[in-house]
């Protein structure tokens, strides 16, 4: 009985990510193929659209490094933040992109914070301190790391884990289900 469960799970572990990637690529290709560009055949239209998009991203990125870019971004943020429904979507997506593109450079080290008696949570050092010497830590919510809490903690009230930022983020993003070490699928389904 356990053999077929293990085989089925092994097959899912390989096929589901491939199917998800195939679906996303297919959907994206379908969207790009319908872009109204006077180029045929559709594969060439998709290539042209991607090249134009990449050039546009680089041009805007270059503009943002200038003084004018900072002003434009500030004005855009102010205008969007005046619109109640759009404000939430804009700020959440901006934070998600900044987190994804910025990587883990700003998160310095994962730490364990005891929030209640015996309950520890994963937080990240930000490298900033308050005027009274407390460390500012970011305590993300799982599995959405773009939200969380900024907490001020005495340096003796947290414990450094010694693990990498990537390992700690993997654990948080997977809501505790992810394992950063490679494990055999068979181990997951072995009967005790």
Q: Write down the pLDDT at residue 5.
A: 79
Per-residue pLDDT reduced to its tens digit, 142-162: 777 777 888 898 888 888 888
Q: Residue 148, by phi and psi: left (phi above 0), alpha (psi -120 to 50) or beta?
A: left
| Secondary-structure percent of the chain, ordered helix, strand, coil, rounded to 5 | 55, 15, 30
Helix (H, G, I), strand (E, B) or coil at 164: coil
**Whole-angstrom Cα distance, residue 103 to residue 88?**
22
In the DSSP assignment, the letter for residue 148 is E
Q: Write down the pLDDT at residue 189.
A: 56
In the DSSP assignment, the letter for residue 156 is G
Q: Write down the pLDDT at residue 175.
A: 73
pTM across the whole model: 0.47
Residue ranges in the chain modelled with pLDDT below 50: 180, 182, 192
């Amino acid at each position: 009985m356990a053999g077929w469960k293990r085989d089925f799970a092994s097959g899912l572990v390989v096929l589901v990510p491939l199917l998800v990637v195939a679906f996303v690529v297919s959907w994206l290709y379908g969207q790009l193929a319908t872009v109204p560009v006077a180029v045929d055949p559709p594969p060439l239209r998709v290539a042209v659209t991607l090249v134009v998009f990449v050039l546009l991203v680089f041009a805007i990125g270059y503009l943002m490094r200038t003084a004018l870019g900072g002003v434009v971004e500030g004005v855009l943020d102010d205008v969007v933040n005046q619109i109640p429904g759009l404000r939430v979507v804009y700020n959440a997506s901006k934070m998600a992109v900044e987190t994804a593109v910025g990587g883990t450079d700003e998160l310095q080290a994962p730490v364990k914070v005891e929030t209640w008696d015996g309950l520890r949570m994963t937080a990240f050092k930000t490298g900033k301190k308050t005027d009274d010497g407390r460390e500012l830590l970011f305590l993300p919510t799982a599995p959405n790391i773009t939200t969380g809490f900024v907490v001020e903690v005495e340096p003796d009230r947290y414990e450094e884990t010694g693990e990498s930022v990537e390992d700690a983020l993997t654990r948080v993003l997977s809501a505790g289900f992810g394992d950063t070490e490679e494990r055999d699928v068979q181990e997951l389904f072995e009967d005790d």
